[in-house]
Structure 1
Amino acid sequence: MGDRVVEDELIGREGELARLGDLQAGDGPRVALLHGVAGIGKTALLRRFVRDSSGEAACWWLDCRAIEPTPEGCIEALGRAAEAEADRLPDLLEVLAGRAPLGVIVLDSVEAWRLLDTWLCHHLATRLPGNLRLVLAGRHRPSVHWVAGELPSPPLDLPLAPLTMEDAGRLLTRLGLAPARGTEIAARLHGHPLAIRLAAMTLRERPDHRLSAASLQRVMDELTERYLADAGDGRSRRLLEGAAVVRRVTVPLLRALFPDQDPEMAYDALRRQDFTETLPDGLGLHEAVKAPLAQTLHARDPERFLDYRRRAWQALKRRTTTSASVELWRYTADMLYLIENPVVREAFFPTGTQELVMQSARPAHGDAMARIVATHEGPEGQRALRRWWRVHPETFVVARDAAGKVQGFCCRIDPARASLDCLEEDPITASWQAHLVASPLPEGQRALFIRRWLSREDGDAPGEAQAGAWLDLKRTYMEMRPSLGRVYLTVTDLAPYAAVASTLGFRHLSTHDVRLDGRAHATAVLDFGAGSVDGWLARLAAAELGLGTGEPLDRQARELALADGQRLPLTPLEFGLFGYLVDREGEAVSRERLLREVWHSDYTGWSNKVDAVVAGLRRKLGPQAGCIETVTGVGYRYRAPPPDPVADFSSGR
């Protein structure tokens, strides 16, 4: 429906449109923050604003849902939108500023960029040339970043409220209902534009339908269900249900979800649905109806709901191992969408508004951090952290409240870029360095040391400062991928974090715990394994879906990584054949196809070359050899081994 909204029908938004017009004034605000619930009309309002401004301003529109939430991802996407070649943000902004007397950068669905909120405020927004404007549109109210930021002028805060009853009635009349009927039901639709449009569609088809007086969510559920009942055959309903389970719909994904249907025809059928939006990377159902549709399917037919998610995972897993880096984030975001576990989803996409500002520490923050350290650390801990601050201040980020007061900090270190003296003199990082030597990462992979987080009130216990630090660390994860291979962290009390840490895959390395100032500092480590952050997320999703998670192929090291910790080298043919099967998990692959694709041979007769390599692989796989299945009369198929039981985080295993 998002593509079918007639922008001339922006009834009741005249005031908001006029306020956006203030951006065009030379002395007006440079940043606008447009926010409201899904379906309230943010995108339609922005499209109208851009259309009305097109004669006076250049505009570059980014849909954040399809772009990696890193500074590099933003700069690259903005450069593509503007057809500008610039790798650095200042250079790119200079190019944009020279394109027109006034330029507007629109970031739509910016809630998908929560990991990037700090950078948007403290880097992009503060570096805007005088003739550039920035508009952010999302579901959440602005975080404290934008209140306590350092913008040249206060941002324009523009919440989108529900339509008044009078405006709701006018819109219903414009959509084809009699004025009396529109006035009658307007109060039941909570002034929500999408609910109003859905109700108009329903009542035009079924004039006798009685709309219940209920909460907005209940009304949306009712209208969605009514729409599905009128959607026609069961095939159309299944397509909509499948689309509700995934982040976006593409032709390859439809082929996996509905193997009995023509995927091109299914895609075209979905594109014509009233609920469908055209995304930069496929199709999507409008979020306001997508959630109730998925919830209804989950409640009514949980097996089909799970089957859709499993099929989607298997299709996406292939893409994450074969996609170019520019496309990788899209498949990573698709994979994250399949994960229902709130621990994982909140780790990357928190649903609440951030109450603390996370930003790079500056010299002025030193005294406040020193007081926090003195409160929670003894002499040894203070000495180590003071040295890191003196030699490597860039490793510190601070958490500030709306008043600008430092409430906590985090020190995270890239050991490959840190002073060897600092690493060796700090007992904790020295212990981690020793573990890296004993258990080295494959060539090309890097480690991240999360040396300490402390808050003024809570120390290293859970709290707002710790939550802010963890969110900022997920941004660091994304920036370091695909080379990030391992993360180390330390806390003095494991118990509050045990459940979350185990879910995310952290292990307690009790042999590398360190005593400082008479207190044990426990070490936890997370090995991302094959595929770095993206492979880790794929395995988390697989575990939740009950699929095999123990893929034994380490592509970067070209080794087998067995469940018992062994690593065995592979010959070029073993690596090529095994990788080919793994990328096509569950698919029967013929010997002829393997000869053609791995050996690059045109031979079409029977050959024992493939069987010999498979036999060698099975010997090396040992107890996991069953993951390579023989398909009688055809060839071979890969099935991921079942997940291993998760070790107790607090046990040190």
Structure 2
Amino acid sequence: MTRTISDRISENAARTFVGREAELAVLRSAVLDPDRVVALVHGPGGIGKTRLLRAVLGELPVDTAVTVLDGRDVEPTPEGVLRALERALGTPDVVTALGTAPRHVLAIDTYEVLGLADTWTRTTFLPMLPTSVFTVLVGRDRPASAWHTAPGWAGSVVELCVGPLPPGPARELLRARGLDEAEARRADDFAHGHPLALELAAATSRGRPGAATSPATAGGPVPGGLLDCFVDGLSPEATTALEAASTTRWVTEPLLAAVLDRGDHEARAAYDGLRRLPFVDATTDGLVLHDVVRDTVGHDLAVRDPERRRRYRRRAASFLAGRPPSRDDLWQRTADLMFLIENPVVRDACFPSARPTHVVEPARREDATAIAEIALAHEPAPVAEALARWWASHPETFAVARDPDGAVAAFVQIAELGTVDPDLLGSDPVARPWLEHLRENPPAPEERVLLMRRWLGRESGELRSPAVSACWLDVKRTYMQWRPRLRRLYSTVVDLPRLGPIFLPLGFAPAGPGVGIEGTTYQPVWLDFGPQSVDGWLARLVDTDLDVAPPDDGCDATDDCSLSPREREVLALLADGLSNRDIGARLYVSEKTAGRHVSNIFTKLEVHTRAQAARLAAERGWL
């Protein structure tokens, strides 16, 4: 049999894979244990999870079948996962195909982006597979507690947390990359055992011996300063291309040309330069930056030059909007648009900033009491009674968010218009305004309409909380499943002053006058996704997200007009002593976005601490 270059590359990779003996042993043992059915491998980005997975898969017995999916290429819905498996296995009969081998290992990498499908994977998909199938789910986030606490899973799940390499294996890796002992020691002092950081340190030291001489700040997922050190060694053209690529989910040569606003020849040179970087993967769809590098470079660009980053994102959105996708790559275009959106209520559906603290799953019969108690605690009696009728007629439309201990912390109810009993709708005082709006504005026969009858948290009612946010996130799963025919969503809101800043930017509008019920006013609202369904809605959100007015001109040194309106809000909250997390919660943005605003404020005001920023704002009368 003729050896290929691929064979040699695989052997070289295996020889230079060092350390991880304990992790290898745990995962290897789990894969071969007939009593185990799933391994949950998690750790920070760049920590070496994928290489660990490949090392284990590469040493399996010859009669073991292997199927590997990359979560980045999979639509985060049950249908999307099954379609990806159909393509990988070459047959629509996924369950039978997975059960043909004595042992079949199904591995899903980058699993964190499939969070919307996690409950379905645990409660529906894996239970229907043959016992010969072993599943490995590899992602950044620690898995939901339900994987361990849900009935029946105890003893079937192995959890493996992957951390930094100890000094011995870390320096062995660096020596395998061609560094001498002194260089390896300096690089490891800089990288703190983080594998991606070690690789970048090795590349930096080979190109510029002695470059990594100062220890980086420990404590983050990637040692601070190392990526800056590496990027500083690139040419200005390569750095610009890298910054442009950090604003998109992936890049092709035409997309890079559009984002950089360059001709074909310059774009080709920039694309080829990116492809040679050690943290860039070449896929069949284009080039993908390692997510840690992409996030770090993108954050740095947002702080240093937010207007240039905005131009890049605007050009990317224009390029994507001008290239309608085929049915086969419809999900890719949806994900590309969602990546450009910074509103966490939408973006976290596919690119989560943190794992939800609550698991959302279909309500079970035994949840009836908890749902009724939550409704009675927050709703007038007639509304709670209407919800009870919904439960009696359509319990399948309810989903619950569970605490780590399994208790119901919130619920959401969502149904398709055509599946609901018309008499039930007509008798529900909260739903009647929707029917009137539909009679006045009838949808086309092929357009689907969702009714999000109510969501309520045990402690927060309809207001935002971790449990309620998890329910909202799960609703996005329904959006994804129903595109491209989903046209409208109807719901109702009571506390408009608090929820308006969340829902109005998403496109929600009143669907008639409010309905008063025992002193509580229920405002009917609707969201028109438009003729292009969810993708058209996302494109509009991108346009809105990027349509930021520049600061006013003509101000003197005592004015705060160098700050954007949002930065002024952040500065006021910062001066009140709020943390980035609290600022994010108050303004309905992620903690990461709040931190970026704080960094921008520091840069514009030329201060270094929160106290200095607050003092300067007070002295100039901005508060």
Same fold, judged at TM 0.5 (above): yes
Please report how far the alpha carbon of residue 133 of structure 1 lies from its aligned counterpart in structure 2 after TM superposition.
1.0
CA distance in structure 1 between the aligned counterparts of 2:187 and 2:386, rounded to whole angstroms: 67
Residue in 2 aligned with 1:118?
Answer: 119
Deviates more, 1:524-533 or 1:25-34: 25-34
> What is the 5 A alignment of 1:122-161?
122-152=123-153, 153-161=155-163
Q: How far off its partner does 1:297 sit? A: 3.0
Do residues 545 (structure 1) and 546 (structure 2) align?
yes
Matched, 1:287 2:291: yes
Q: Distance in 1 between matches of 2:408 and 2:366?
A: 10
**TM-aligned CA deviation for residue 227 of structure 1:** 3.0
Instruction: Provide, for residues 334-360 of structure 1, a one-character-per-residue CA deviation record: whole Å limited to 9, x for no partner.
Output: 111112333432355432222222111
Match of 1:272 among 243, 254, 276: 276
Amino acid at match of 1:225: D
Aligned to 1:305: 309
SS of the residue corresponding to residue 369 of structure 1 reads helix
Calculate percent identity across the aligned residue pairs.
39
Aligned ranges 1:599-618 → 2 under 5 Å:
none
SS in 1 for 2:492: strand
Partner of 2:55: 48
Note closer, same or farther for the CA distance 1:458–1:306 as it changes in structure 2 (3 Å cut): closer
Residue in structure 1 matching 2:176, options 162, 174, 177: 174
Say if 1:124 and 1:151 are closer, same or farther in 2 by CA, change over 3 A.
farther
Distance 1:276 1:310, change over 3 A: same
Q: Which residue does 1:519 correspond to in 2?
A: 520
Question: How far apart in 2 are the matches of 1:147 and 1:62?
Answer: 23
Match of 1:621 in 2: none
What RMSD over aligned residues (CA atoms) do the two structures have, in Å?
2.3
Q: Does residue 81 of structure 1 match 2:88? A: yes
One-letter amino acid of the counterpart of residue 230, structure 2: Y
Separation of aligned partners in 2, 1:470 and 1:266:
40
2-structure distance, mates of 1:80, 1:31: 22
Cα distance in 1 between the residues matched to 2:349 and 2:183: 46
CA pair 315-466 structure 1, distance change in 2 beyond 3 A: same
1:242 to 241, 244, 248: 244
Give the drift of 1:547: 9.2
Partner of 2:46: 39
In structure 1, the residue matched to 2:418 is 416
Retained in 1: the 8 A contact 2:398–2:411? yes
- Letter of the 2:489 counterpart: V
Q: Does 1:261 align with 2:264?
A: yes
Partners of 2:427 and 2:548 lie apart in 1 by: 44
Q: 5+ residue gaps in structure 2?
A: 1-8, 550-623
The 1:411–1:296 alpha-carbon spacing in structure 2 relative to 1, beyond 3 Å, is closer
1:130 aligned counterpart, secondary structure: coil
Question: Would you say 1:317 and 2:321 are equivalent positions?
Answer: yes
> Residue 237 of structure 1: CA displacement?
2.8
Q: 1:482 aligns with which of 467, 481, 484?
A: 484
Deviation readout 1:537-580 (Å, 9 max, x if unpaired) = 111111222299xxxxxxxxxxxxxxxxxxxxxxxxxxxxxxxx
Tell me the SS of whatever aligns to 1:6. helix
1:31 offset after TM fit, Å? 0.6
Partner of residue 367 from structure 1, selected from 366, 369, 375 = 369
Q: Is the 8 A contact 1:114 1:349 kept in 2?
A: no
Equivalence for 2:254: 252
Partner of 1:606: none
Residue identity matched to 1:519: T
The whole-number CA distance in structure 2 between the counterparts of 1:82 and 1:539 is 37
Tell whether 2:110 aligns with 1:106: no
- Unpaired segments of 5 or more residues in structure 1? 87-91, 549-653
Cα drift, residue 448 of structure 1: 0.9
Q: 1:378 to 1:291 in 2, by over 3 A?
A: closer
State the SS of the aligned residue for 2:150: coil
Find the aligned partners of 1:306 and 1:461 in 2 and give their Cα distance. Answer: 31
Higher gyration radius (CA): 1
> Is the Cα–Cα contact under 8 Å of residues 115 and 349 in structure 1 kept in the other structure?
no
Distance in 2, matches of 1:480 and 1:50, equals: 36
- Bigger shift: residues 396-405 or 133-142: 396-405
* Alignment match, 1:552: none
Q: 1:125 to 1:203 in 2, by over 3 A?
A: same
Taking a change above 3 Å as real, the CA distance of residues 398 and 296 of structure 1, as seen in their structure-2 partners, is: closer
- 1:21 is the counterpart of 2:24: no
- Post-superposition shift, 1:531? 1.2
Using the TM superposition, name which of 263-272 and 416-425 deviates more: 263-272
The aligned residue for residue 460 of structure 1 is 462
In the alignment, which residue of structure 2 is the partner of 1:567? none
CA contact (8 A) 1:7 1:47 kept: no
| Counterpart Cα distance in 2 of 1:10 and 1:229 | 28
Partners of 1:415 and 1:423 within 8 A in 2: no
Check the 8 A contact 2:194/2:222 in 1, yes or no. no
> In structure 1, what is the Cα distance between the partners aligned to 2:395 and 2:516?
25
342-351 or 33-42, which deviates more: 342-351
Deviations 1:38-80 (A, max 9, x none): 1100111111111112623111111111221111110000111
TM-score (norm 1): 0.78
- Please say if residues 31 and 105 of structure 2, whose CA atoms lie closer than 8 Å, have aligned partners that are also in contact: no
CA distance in structure 1 between the aligned counterparts of 2:298 and 2:213, rounded to whole angstroms: 22
Alignment check: 8 A CA contact 2:402 2:408 kept: yes
In structure 2, the CA distance between the partners of 1:435 and 1:284, relative to structure 1 (3 Å rule), is same
- SS for the counterpart of 2:524 is strand
Secondary structure at the aligned position of 1:277 is classed as: strand
Aligned counterpart, 1:226: 229
Does structure 1 retain, via aligned residues, the 8 Å contact 2:191–2:226? no
User: Hey, what does 1:341 align to over in structure 2?
Assistant: 343
Does the residue aligned with 1:337 lie in a helix, a strand or coil? helix
Distance in 1 (alpha carbons) for counterparts of 2:168 and 2:73: 37
In structure 2, give the amino acid aligned to 1:315.
Answer: F
SS of 1:462 mapped into structure 2: coil
d(CA) in 2 for partners of 1:189 and 1:528? 46
**Cα 1:83–1:348 shift into 2, 3 Å:** closer
Q: Is the 8 A contact 1:84 1:95 kept in 2?
A: yes
Give the counterpart letter for 1:74 in structure 2. V
Q: Is the 8 A contact 1:257 1:308 kept in 2?
A: yes
Superposition TM-score, scaled by structure 2 size: 0.81
User: Which residue identity lines up with residue 134 of structure 2 in the other structure?
Assistant: R
Matched, 1:193 2:162: no
Change (3 A) 1:347 1:82: closer
Quickly say closer, same or farther: Cα 1:272–1:207, change in 2 above 3 A. closer
For 1:60 and 1:203, how far apart are their aligned partners in 2?
37
Q: Secondary structure at the match of 1:413?
A: strand
Equivalent pairs counted in the alignment come to: 536
Compared CA separation, residues 123 and 313, structure 1 to 2 (3 A): same
Deviation of 1:160 after TM superposition, in Å, equals 0.4
Q: Map of 1:205-216 to 2, 5 A cutoff?
A: 205-216=207-218
Spell out the pairing of 1:419-458 with structure 2 (5 A cutoff). 419-458=421-460
Distance, in Å, in 2 between the alignment partners of 1:32 and 1:219 is 25
2:535 and 2:139 mapped to 1: Cα distance?
Answer: 25
Partner of 2:599: none
The aligned residue for residue 584 of structure 1 is none
